[in-house]
Amino acid sequence: MLPLVGLGPVDTAVKLREGSNATMGVATLVSGAVTISTQKVTSSSRIFLTVNGVGVLANLGSPYENTATRVVGKSFDIKSSNVLDTSSVTWLIIEPA
């Protein structure tokens, strides 16, 4: 069980590893898309995306996971509704219980 906010030391925050085969990371869209390589993705993974920083284009799109291209144990794709989007996107994989 995770500690409640304010009831434990400051260093009790949830920490997730980034990098190769991680469950969390940051990626930059190129021409509105990027492939995330990780063995952690499953068919039931919930993948959360947040725009971390805008790209060089003012007309940003809406990033989303392209579920049609998910490859279990290998990768998933993030796409934008704007094919010119160059945003930085933070992603997080959570598995349902």
Instruction: Give tens-digit pLDDT for 31-70.
Output: 999 999 999 999 999 999 998 877 665 557 788 898 889 9
Average confidence score pLDDT of the chain:
85
What residues does each domain of the chain span?
29-94
Q: What is the rounded CA–CA span in Å between residue 10 and residue 24? A: 21
Helix (H), strand (E), coil (C) string for the chain:
CCCCCCCCCHHHCCCCCCCCCCCEEEEECECCEEEEECCCCCCCCEEEEEEEECCCCCCCCCEEECHHHCECCCEEEEEECCCCCCCEEEEEEECCC
Q: What is the pTM of this model?
A: 0.80
